[in-house]
Homo-oligomer: A and B are copies of this chain.
């Protein structure tokens, strides 16, 4: 992915084309008091990015393209498996108290719950646990399976999904992290193999920003 900043002249060209389309490169050049040769690379960039459209013998049009949609493939093709962290899993008969302790020890915001066959059967967040602790439940006795969000209401992604899909699911479902699963529908198997959190996405954002 290459990200470039348009220079002032390129931005002026866009304004001129917006107001005067269709307009020939000769006319753009005369409005800017420069030669056509000077404009050549600017126009190449503006047409290559899809901001302007050039029609032979007619001139340049502004396509009104949403600039942000010109994103290169690198971000869109970034896979869940390239960024996922280790999942923290506990069995569904573990007590709320022990799950909370595990949450603090592993310093995660969500814990994934597995059944006796080690298949994903639920998820709990800090929010779920906080609600349970003030709800007067006996956190030492109650198993986590009683309060977890259970499958099929658990949102998941697969290792080959894009990070963008994971981020969209996180936002749409208002969750902090999402389990990455290996599924084998035929044998009714759903293994948790990773997690993607808003922290992963925030780190990726910093990476994109060149930090």
Contact = CB atoms under 8 A, between A and B. Distances in A.
Interface in A32-71: 40-41, 44-45, 48-49, 51, 66-71
Contacts of A199: 171, 198
A40 B47 CA distance: 14
27 contacts: A1-B3, A1-B67, A2-B51, A2-B70, A4-B49, A40-B41, A40-B44, A41-B48, A44-B45, A45-B45, A68-B208, A68-B210, A71-B209, A75-B209, A76-B209, A97-B134, A103-B130, A107-B174, A109-B126, A126-B126, A126-B127, A170-B202, A171-B203, A198-B199, A198-B202, A201-B202, A205-B208
Interface string A178-211: 0000000000000000000011011111111111
Interface in A100-145: 100, 103-104, 107, 109, 126-127, 129-131, 133-134, 139
Nearest to A69: B210
A209 to B, nearest CB: 5
A54 B73 CA distance: 27
Contact of A134 (B45, B139, B201): B139
Interface of A: 1-6, 40-41, 44-45, 48-49, 51, 66-73, 75-76, 97, 100, 103-104, 107, 109, 126-127, 129-131, 133-134, 139, 164, 167-168, 170-171, 174, 176, 198-199, 201-211
A143 to B, nearest CB: 16
B202 A67 contact: no
Given A2-B3, A41-B41, A130-B100, A68 B207 contact: yes
